[in-house]
Structure 1
Amino acid sequence: MKNRNDKQGNLPPEIPHKKRFIIFLSVFAFLSVAVLIRYAVLMLRPADTENTGNTKPFVERGPILDRNGRILALQTRLGNITVWRPDIIDRDVLSRDLAPILQIPAETIDARIESSSADFIYLKKQVEQSTLREIENLKAEGRLRGVGVEAIVGRIYPEKRLASQIIGFVGNENNNGLAGIEYALESELSPASVKAKGGSGNQVFLTIDSNVQHILEEIGERIRRESRAEAVMFMAMDPRTGDILGSASLPNFDPNDINSSDDISRMDRPAIWAYEPGSVFKVFSMSALMESGSVNSGTVFVCDGHYERISNRGERVVINCLGAHGRVTIRDIIIKSCNAGAAYAADRLGADAFNELLQNYGFGARTGAGNPGETVGYLSPTSRWSERSKPTIAMGQEIAVSALQMVQAASAVANDGVLVPPRIVSRIVSPKGETIRSYEAPEGRGQSRRILKAETARAMRSYMVDVTSDIGTGWRANIRDLSLAVKTGTAQLIDPKTNAYSPTDFIASCIALLPAESPSLILYLAIIKPKGDSYLGGRIAAPPIREAAEALVDYLGIPRGRNPQISHPGSVSLPLPISPVVDAVVPNLEGYSKRELLPMLLREDLHIEISGDGWVRRQAPPPGSPLNSDTVIILELE
């Protein structure tokens, strides 16, 4: 009797098991074919597109550029050069082939491969595309067996050592700034920080001019070698805007090869190093005293070779001078760099008032130029001053400054009394070219401020012009057809072993404002620990200032004039004397230069408007016209 299920057409019990087995085999076969197809695709696909799903997209860190758009730092595709030892056929041949490409001695390459305990070796990291192409070409010829290229994203610095301490560098993964602008503006440069679309950070434009920077570094490095100095700082700033056009700190380093640098070469000295400025500081201390009204251009002091005073507590204070200068005015103190005169002048003003005037220049505070790690320097409160402090500070000792603070203070003398803070960053621009943030002119930043009367600043510039005369300490900075307002300095350094001034370690320095009549450039040079007998600022710092000025006035388009030399035995003799005749009628000024007109420009009772450069060719009113209090003398120079 048949089973009821059979009559109804149902399958026997073993049939469903066979069907499930067939379905399993079909699915397994299908998956196997899919895996084989996937494997074939992966094997045939070019190496640079492999594992696209797991490859991180190319994110571009924003570039750093100079004021003219010249690239100083850029994100790019680089490569690490590797070696797989089992594939090497001839190690000597391989080393000789790689040596000129990687710029590593063949012996070094051979020794590195031989001494390695691992089969996989990194020969050189972060290699540029041009080098990678050379290696790929040799590999295509069947050479360099065992050599590989590992593609990476890297940071390159096309100008190499140029402005390296300002630009800074990034970490090994090329994604975090560790120094300089790379560190200070990480939030702008990093794509992750700005959350930029398309994986790009913002562009940072500096105030640095690469050509100016190159001139300063070239001259500075030569001076460092010739003087066997420990270091050199050389700065150029536009006092009208505060733009740092160049800031050389030597020795420097190549951020493309950070492993070969040291702490000294990576130090941005103009921003982070504090030192006693020496006699250059007299420009600011004497200007401050003139501004207070405690001294004026006619105040006379007597220098017999030293300053001496008995304090209220009976302490004898003595400060030596380089020579016995006799009767000196503020002008003579600047021209001859008279320590005794500066000390006696400081006695005319109280300590608190003097300290406040120096603080107005920005000493004892950061300039905020944009350099990370900037020092505040050292200007102690008057409660810590000794009986020697005030006269000593007046001549540039017992106060520590940075080079940035020095050019900032010089801007007040250059700008007829208006101090303009320095800046190193010009603007921030998006990847699309839109300006996100502009560090405007000082008026817009609200940071510029008047700290001197215009007459005080102009008078100081006229004194500094005479420093380049035959009797001045800066005569070696003189340029025949360009007027420079100059001050030199020689500062002793403290010996850390004795905690006293070293008899052998000095800083030779020189500052220049040009052209003196209306400065558009400040140059400041400091040579640290020069070796040998030539260590005076007037002797070794003034000539490089002249050389840099000669090069930069032409590049920057600063007009030259044929200003005559001022030479005299001990007192200034100007070709245009200030006499009662000038008060009665308009003098004949044809043929006079701006420099010769400077005494007239400093007079508050005369109203003079000048246009052009060179010598006076036309004037109004004509010579002999009545000169009243409201008369405006218009002079056209050619």
Structure 2
Amino acid sequence: MVSREKRRLSLLLYSITAFVALAILLRIFWVAIITGNPAGEYSDPQVSTRIVRGTITDTNGRLLAMETPYYACALLLRQVPDLQATAQTLGPILSVDPQTIVQEASRNSLYFLVKRRLDESEHGQVSALIQEKKLPGVILEKRYGRLFPQHFHAAQVVGFTNTENRGIEGLELAYEQLLSPYPEVGTSISYGNTIALTLDLDLQYLLDTQAVAIDREHYPDSIVGIIMGADTGAILAATTFPWYDPNRYQDSEPEQRQNRVVTSMYEPGSVFKIFSLAAELAAGQADFDQPFHCDGSYTFTMPNGSETTINCVSPHGTITPETMLKYSCNGAVAHWALQTDDVLFRKTITDLGFGSVWKTGMPGTIGGLVSRVETWSGRTKATMSFGQELGVTALQLATAATAIANQGTLLHPYIVESVVDHAGTTLITGEPTVANTQVFDARVADTILSGMVEATRPGGTATRTAVEGVLVAAKTGTAQIADPTTGAYGANTFLASTLAIVPADNPKYIIYIGVANPTGATIWGSNIAAPAIGSIIADMVRQGKLVSDSMERIILPVGAPLPE
């Protein structure tokens, strides 16, 4: 009985296998013999319902990713009379080694894909030879794939698709179901949704231009940059350098494809002083009425009785909260931190979003690291106050700055402006959202902004961010980078950074640039990131995107010099 059942099952499986094989052979026969296409061009036979993947645009409707037809070149091997001769003809045209074509095609009996995606020139040359009947057995298959018109601009944010037109990285991966929804039964074509991002390519170009300039002058390992709407939380531009071209992602390394704005954690250095000072002011426990005197170093006694010394670049004299930011005094900010309760200090830091993951839809986003109070050493709070012993991302720094720009109200970052279906119906709308109503009061925010403005004036560390006619608030930083294995700070590894809020009298933009391991004559954020941000601000004025309450609107022709 069992044997009979086994025979029946075997017969059934054999019948199914034979049917599938016959169907495949008939399809190949149809393509190879019956269909008479003089140009040898065929549509992709792999799917019965074609899914038109939705487009991705910037906030102004400019294309970042789109569906496009392309051609693949293949061989119907039974119709190729001379494989060696065919390979010798195709190889130079398609930039494929002829011997490789012969060797790999010889492993197949019916069909061989020579090149998956031809450019316009390759397609034209092969098509002409097919029409002249000089390449029997060679066909051009029409397929559909992704085109990224902006190439490397915002590449790590947008991501890319694989050869099956499926999202692999970036927003292409995160929004796969919206861009390429499962087709409805009975439809011959299915359209994906259009996703409009908050990115503004005008600002993206400005940020990317400065990344290139920094790379050419300082040869860093990597650069991250972000521009955020100060009053919205919208991500307007984001860059990670080195770049890659998603149209040729196979030529890139995994490190190039990382969106370091959200995936790379590092100690922020002195840029973080604006947030630690906010925590100290909000707690109200430090004695700000007693001015701090900086003689170039600050020594304090830890709970275990040992002494620790914190150094400044130079003596700063009498320091107030505003001048602490102007001169970037380590001793003063550490002194006030030690006068502030551990729990209250950490609470403000975490209320600003540090240590938490911002859910923007960008894959790989991390939350950074803010250690628990019970794990702190006697010097943790002091060193944390000037940006050591914690890990942050560029996205977190820019987002936290929205609280300073909005009188203590923290905004949630977002990058998707809208999702619209093929019929024009809006499915999703992104809009400014409050993440924390009052991290600290308006007086704290005003004090921080005032100190950041002072930093851009003569004697301050951020003078190179200053642009005439615009009230700029900025903070620079130069942090040592710890070895990920040993935890020790390297002698020649630094992060040069600057964060700016503009215009300070009516904040509209937050700009942050971080440069890892610059080489050459300088390693300071004030000399590397600050002038880059100054150039971006100047170009924003040229474009009419930036108007300060303290200035009349300035719109200059492209290429015109700024007023001296």
TM-score (structure 2 length as normaliser):
0.84
Q: Does 1:160 align with 2:151?
A: yes
Which one of the candidate residues 422, 428, 437 is aligned to 1:431? 422
Question: What is residue 508 of structure 1 aligned with on the other side?
Answer: 496
Bigger RCO (CA 8 Å, 6+ sep): 2
What per-residue deviation string (whole Å, max 9, x for no partner) do you get for residues 50-80 of structure 1? 8999852321122211111122122232222
Q: Does 1:451 align with 2:442?
A: no
1:502-541 map, 5 Å: 502-541=490-529
Question: What is residue 208 of structure 1 aligned with on the other side?
Answer: 199
Aligned equivalents of 1:302, 1:54: Cα separation in 2: 75
Structure 1 residue runs of 4 or more that deviate by more than 6 Å after TM superposition:
38-42, 47-54, 193-197
What per-residue deviation string (whole Å, max 9, x for no partner) do you get for residues 155-214 of structure 1? 22222222111111223211x322111111122122218889641222211111122112
Aligned equivalents of 1:196, 1:223: Cα separation in 2: 54
Question: What is residue 68 of structure 2 aligned with on the other side?
Answer: 76
Whether the 8 Å contact between 2:154 and 2:239 is mirrored in structure 1 is yes
Q: 1:194 to 1:338 in 2, by over 3 A?
A: farther
What per-residue deviation string (whole Å, max 9, x for no partner) do you get for residues 259-283 of structure 1? 1111110110011111100000001
Question: What is residue 581 of structure 1 aligned with on the other side?
Answer: none
Which one of the candidate residues 341, 350, 356 is aligned to 1:359? 350
Which one of the candidate residues 224, 249, 263 is aligned to 2:254? 263
Question: What is residue 178 of structure 1 aligned with on the other side?
Answer: 168
Q: Which residue type is aligned with residue 542 of structure 1?
A: A
Q: 1:160 to 1:337 in 2, by over 3 A?
A: same
Question: What is residue 187 of structure 1 aligned with on the other side?
Answer: 177
What per-residue deviation string (whole Å, max 9, x for no partner) do you get for residues 125-163 of structure 1? 233567534532454355666653222222222222221
Aligned equivalents of 1:220, 1:40: Cα separation in 2: 50
Secondary structure in 1 aligned to 2:443? Answer: helix
What per-residue deviation string (whole Å, max 9, x for no partner) do you get for residues 385-434 of structure 1? 00011111100000100111000111111112211111111111111111
1:271-420 map, 5 Å: 271-295=262-286, 298-420=289-411
Q: Percent identity?
A: 32
Q: Does 1:558 align with 2:546?
A: yes
What per-residue deviation string (whole Å, max 9, x for no partner) do you get for residues 86-111 of structure 1? 25647666544x1xxx5x4xxx5345
Q: Which residue type is aligned with residue 132 of structure 1?
A: H
Q: 1:369 to 1:232 in 2, by over 3 A?
A: same
Q: Does 1:481 align with 2:472?
A: no
Aligned equivalents of 1:274, 1:126: Cα separation in 2: 37
Which one of the candidate residues 405, 408, 412 is aligned to 1:421? 412
Secondary structure in 2 aligned to 1:166? Answer: helix
Secondary structure in 2 aligned to 1:183? Answer: helix
Question: What is residue 208 of structure 2 aligned with on the other side?
Answer: 217
What per-residue deviation string (whole Å, max 9, x for no partner) do you get for residues 456-475 of structure 1? 21221111111111201111
Q: Which residue type is aligned with residue 521 of structure 2?
A: D
Secondary structure in 2 aligned to 1:480? Answer: coil
Gaps of 5+ in 2: 1-25, 555-564
What per-residue deviation string (whole Å, max 9, x for no partner) do you get for residues 218-267 of structure 1? 22123123211110011111111111110001112112222111111011
Q: 1:401 to 1:137 in 2, by over 3 A?
A: same
Aligned equivalents of 1:310, 1:150: Cα separation in 2: 75
Q: 1:382 to 1:39 in 2, by over 3 A?
A: closer
Deviating more after overlay: 546-555 vs 372-381: 546-555
Whether the 8 Å contact between 1:305 and 1:325 is mirrored in structure 2 is yes
Aligned equivalents of 1:216, 1:258: Cα separation in 2: 22
Q: 1:54 to 1:377 in 2, by over 3 A?
A: closer
What per-residue deviation string (whole Å, max 9, x for no partner) do you get for residues 323-363 of structure 1? 12222111121011111111101112111110011111111
Q: 1:310 to 1:477 in 2, by over 3 A?
A: same
Q: 1:331 to 1:196 in 2, by over 3 A?
A: farther
Aligned equivalents of 2:281, 2:290: Cα separation in 1: 10
Secondary structure in 1 aligned to 2:52? Answer: coil
Question: What is residue 574 of structure 1 aligned with on the other side?
Answer: none
Query: What is the number of residues matched between the two proteins?
Result: 518
Gaps of 5+ in 1: 1-34, 562-592, 595-611, 615-638
Whether the 8 Å contact between 1:236 and 1:522 is mirrored in structure 2 is yes
Secondary structure in 2 aligned to 1:79? Answer: strand
Work out which of the two has the higher radius of gyration on C-alpha atoms and give 1 or 2.
Answer: 1
Question: What is residue 62 of structure 1 aligned with on the other side?
Answer: 54
TM-score (structure 1 length as normaliser):
0.75
Question: What is residue 236 of structure 2 aligned with on the other side?
Answer: 245
Q: 1:316 to 1:111 in 2, by over 3 A?
A: farther
Q: 1:74 to 1:468 in 2, by over 3 A?
A: same
Deviating more after overlay: 283-292 vs 312-321: 312-321
Secondary structure in 2 aligned to 1:379? Answer: coil
Deviating more after overlay: 177-186 vs 540-549: 177-186
